[in-house]
Amino acid sequence: MENNKRVLVIDDEVHIRRVIELKFKNQGYHVTTATNGEEGLDLIKTQKPDVVITDIMMPKLDGKTLCERANEFKKEWPFLTIVMTCRISPTEQEWIGKLEDTVFIEKPFSLSSILKCIDQYFGK
């Protein structure tokens, strides 16, 4: 099954990147990965993904700063940002709701819930 959507997975934990990458490749998505926020932001600028899946706690550039900077690019091309992290209070996640096309999924996550979120975003 071929899919022309590009997914960027940004997480410093290799097993999380790999699980998401394999699942999405099996669904036909084009997947790129980054190991930290700085690398991820560079890939957002150059590759213009349709979906960015990112952790919050990362080296070099945390997920919150990454999302805030990447939000500026959404004026040029729309894309979905999925923010994942463990146990975050509602007040700590208020910033997520202020960003365009950005949703929160708590770790541990379900791959099917991520796919469902993406399908809803693209109107499938």
- pLDDT of 86 reads 75
d(CA 78, CA 94): 21
- pLDDT of 94 reads 79
- Kindly state the percentage of the chain with pLDDT values over 90: 65
The owner of tokens 């213009």 is 48
- pLDDT of 97 reads 80
- pLDDT of 87 reads 67
Burial zone of 115 (CB within 10 Å; 0-12 exposed, 13-18 middle, 19+ buried): middle
- pLDDT of 110 reads 86
* Residues in the chain where the model's pLDDT stays below 70: 1-2, 87-91, 124
Give ∠ CA 50-38-118 in degrees, rounded to 5.
Answer: 20
Fold of 6-121: Rossmann fold (3.40.50)
- pLDDT of 124 reads 67
- pLDDT of 101 reads 93
Is residue 54 within 8 Å of residue 103, measured between CB atoms?
Answer: no
